[in-house]
Structure 1
Amino acid sequence: MTDTEVLFLRSDELSGLATPAEYVDAVREGYREVGKGAAAEPRTKLVNQSPPGMLTGYMAILPETGAMGGYTYAAGFGDKDAHFFLPVFDAESGRPLAMLDGASLNPFKTGAAGGVAIDELARPDAADLALFGSGAQARGQLRAAAAVRDIETVEVYSPTKAHRESFAGEMNEALDASVAAVASPDAAVEGADIVVTATDASEPVFDGEMLEEGTHITAMGQYDPDKREVDATAVKRAKYVPDLRARAHQDAGAFLQAREAGVVGDDHIHAELGEVVAGEAEGRTARQEITMFDSGGTGVETVAAAYMLYRKARDEGLGELLEFAPASDALTGQ
């Protein structure tokens, strides 16, 4: 066999290549396939003590999309930074298609998962959004939310006044919605139809008692048993939908801590997001329901978004071709 040509795509080539709506469409299809039985596993996380760091990977196979792969990334260590490798394989032949520098797409693919959840679980007329966080992930979540709902007002809260005001000013210019910084978590949550947490907080960022009936919550910083952006009250009050059921049991801190406190049991998991997208489980069934999407990052949105970007980049002539030898040639035994 001859070497396989693999398209290497740099982060700057991927930046701006697709719209938030295109990310949402790709990720919705990925979750639909998983809801119908396609394979996806939650992250494997290896922690290093000295120097402190984390090596993480997760994978998914999306047969109908035609792709499989996932992230491997290192964060922390001596470099005190993060580096994302994202291989994409053809799901039919198994041959590698692309290798992406996955940093720039991260907020958009994660935001797209939140967008899919809002589309499935939030009220159709949801227009007021409370946003916790003012970084890249918050930006990705907000852009995806605006792609699936006619957002009219956004209240942004983060602990640093200058950060939340700068973010609000930027997004007020970028979106049709009116985006404003607020001085407290209560001011953000009050009257909100959608609450999005996009933080690295270890403790809840708002009081679950403040949630009004009919609110949808997307909590995307939920990837460690010791971290939680939402409290046990919010978990208990909500119809609880994680990205993957296995991840909820593994590292969804808000759910695990609520379960440990005896507030909820394992049966509180209503369904995975993919099951709702695929019609295997109901989403919102009443206007007054509180719903929650617990997002910790999976290979589903990663592979779906990466394959969409690969196809667009290939059509536009972007990237650099590398050659990979198949094992039948490379495993010579010499």
Structure 2
Amino acid sequence: MAIILGDSDLEELPVMQLAIEAIEGALLARSMGGLVSPPRHNVSFAEKGDLIFTIGGMLDDASIAGFRVYDTFKGPRHEQITAVWSTETAELQGLIIGTRLGEIRTGAIGGIAIRYMSSPDARTVGVIGSGQQARAQLEAAALVRDLTHVRVYSRSERNRYQFALEMEERLGIPVEPVGSPRCAVREADIVICATSSLTPVIKADWLKAGVHINTVGPKMVDEHELGLDVAAAAHLIATDSPEQVKAYKMPFFLEGTASAERLVDLAAIVSGKLTVREGPGQTTLFCSVGLAGTEVLVGARILDALKARAGAD
């Protein structure tokens, strides 16, 4: 019988660590052609909104397939459903309902980008944004780098102080709320931009040489949280899904610029096919767009961990 989980069930396991392991395996499989990950598919319901499907899985001996679906309907609460099948047995292994899995998956992809693209001795982080994805990105960063200090800025003073209190307690490292985005990023080895801003939130000349940046928020040509100056300053620019970049209805924010020609696949970096840093002063940029199918693989890893724990009990 399939297992059905909700957000609260995910708190019983080290889900971010499980997700990072699953994402790393997925990107290695992608580099060898073993990951199914087509661009997301939108089904429109006129002015009501869309249902959006991401479908994918792994082509190996323990083959997993499935989908995630979420909505853009006008309402106070938005649920997501992730379904996981075994393609070997045709068994529906489980359903995960809620928003937490998507946050964890995206955070874990950002964590893998930081593991493979940031300087190995990166210790400090500047965070712009104080929502759930900023939390997930920082949690993942703390699992892949030995962090010593974090600064956070968001437009709401209350929100950035709450973020600092919560994440300092969760991670066990100092998290300092600051009064400007420049103060948050100017000495950071790693910068995380996770906002809903439609205009750039940082400038290239605020950043130290050799920084790594993750951008998670809007990335369309007329609406983007990161400026073209930051992309132009980057020695290397990567994304988790070049296919999704090309499939957007609106052009990607780098389209038509010289920076677009330098966009590479994160999977090629994880597999060692591309060298990231040739010197300590080189800046790197990761543009998160959402690699389809990875929610399914993270969900499968969580379901397996719960089954293993139940068996041990």
TM-score by length of structure 2 reads 0.90
Q: Paired residue for 1:288, among 277, 281, 292? A: 281
The answer for unaligned runs of 5 or more in structure 2 is none
Which structure 2 residues correspond to residues 1-334 of structure 1 after superposition, within 5 A? 5-37=1-33, 38-48=35-45, 50-51=47-48, 53-64=49-60, 66-77=63-74, 79-222=75-218, 224=220, 226-238=222-234, 239-251=236-248, 256-260=252-256, 263-264=257-258, 266-269=260-263, 271-317=264-310
Note the C-alpha offset of 1:156.
Answer: 0.3
Residues 226/83 of structure 1: CA separation in 2 closer, same or farther (3 Å cut): farther
SS in 1 for 2:187: coil
Once residues 268 and 89 of structure 2 are traced to their aligned partners in structure 1, the CA distance between those partners, rounded to angstroms, is: 27
For the 8 Å contact 1:35–1:273, the answer to whether it is kept is no
Q: Look up the SS of the partner of 1:42 in the other structure.
A: coil
Q: How many residues align?
A: 308
CA gap 1:45/1:290 in 2 versus in 1, 3 angstroms: farther
Percent identity, aligned pairs only, is 27
Post-superposition shift, 1:76? 3.0
Does structure 2 conserve the Cα–Cα contact (< 8 Å) formed by 1:204 and 1:230?
yes
Structure index of larger Rg? 1
Offset at 1:247? 1.7
Deviation at 1:39, TM superposition (A): 2.0
Which residues of structure 1 form unaligned runs of 5+?
319-334
Partner Cα distance (2:46, 2:281) in 1: 46
- Greater mean deviation of Cα atoms: 87-96 or 114-123: 87-96
Query: Structure 1 195/41 Cα, relative in aligned 2: closer, same or farther at 3 Å?
Result: same
2:2 is paired with a residue whose SS is strand
**Residues 224 and 232 (structure 1), Cα distance of their counterparts in 2 relative to 1, 3 Å cut:** closer
Q: Which has the higher contact order (CA 8 A, sep 6+)?
A: 1
Shift of 1:166: 1.2
Verify the 8 A CA contact 1:63 1:92 in the aligned structure 2.
Answer: no
Report the RMSD for the aligned CA atoms in angstroms: 2.2
Over residues 261-301 of structure 1, what are the superposed CA-to-partner deviations in whole Å (9 max), with x where a residue is unaligned? xx3254221x2111211222223332211111111222243
In 1, the alpha carbon distance for the partners of 2:89 and 2:276 equals 35
Preserved contact between residue 252 and residue 296 of structure 1 (Cα < 8 Å): no
